[in-house]
Each structure stands twice: as C-alpha cells, then as structure tokens.
Structure 1
Amino acid sequence: MQRTVKSQFAHLYEFSLSNGIDVVDLATGRQYEILSGTASNLAHHGRRMAGKLFRMLTF
C-alpha cells in the first residue's frame, strides 16, 4: 500500500516509509501515516506514535 501511494504522490510529498512518520507535506509540514485500516495495524501505529500528532490515511 505504501509503495503504491508513494508512486502516485512522490511529486507532492516527502516519503519516509520506514522511519516513523510515513509522509510529510512539504508545503504545510503536516505529517501523515499510511495504514491498512485493520484493527491490529491501527493499534500498533497508535502505540508507536503516541507522542506524535499525525493524520492517519487508511485504506
């Protein structure tokens, strides 16, 4: 999923798929996580990113 999104939007955002926050909007500085939307995936990211403010993009 992450690679698909990156291939479509790499010209708009900075992607770092293995370092915490997955996507940074260079224009606004907003941070995004790309998640599969499963309960376990959401729980894992929620725990890992507990100290960060981020938007979740789920599919």
Structure 2
Amino acid sequence: MTTTSHLNALERRHASLDEEILQELQRPAQDELKIGMLKRKKLELKDEISRLQNQTRQ
C-alpha cells in the first residue's frame, strides 16, 4: 500500500467515524461511552493522518 492510498483509507475511516458520531448523537438515548470512544479513535486517526502528511512533505 502506498502512502497516498494509506492516507486516503485513513481519511475515509475518519469520515466514517464522524458519521457514526453524528448518528449516535441523534439517538434519543445517547451512549456517552460509545461517543467518547469514537471521538478518541477519530482523534487518533487525525494524528496519524497529520504525521503521514508531514512525512510525505519532507
């Protein structure tokens, strides 16, 4: 897998997590633990995306 395709996959997963978070927030009985887990995973992906983007620029 090339760096570009890996970045694209990470960005798609990041967007997917964003959608999952929005869906959970719209539920009448929100699962705060699930929302927190999804947000942490989304942040981890964002950090990995930033790290890879910085590596490709160097």
Q: Same fold (TM over 0.5)?
A: no
**Of Structure 1 and Structure 2, which has the larger fraction of its residues in helix?**
2
Q: Which has the larger radius of gyration?
A: 2
**Of Structure 1 and Structure 2, which has the larger fraction of its residues in strand?**
1
TM-score of the superposed pair, with normalisation by structure 2: 0.30
TM-score of the superposed pair, with normalisation by structure 1: 0.30
* Higher relative contact order (CA closer than 8 Å, sequence separation 6+): 2
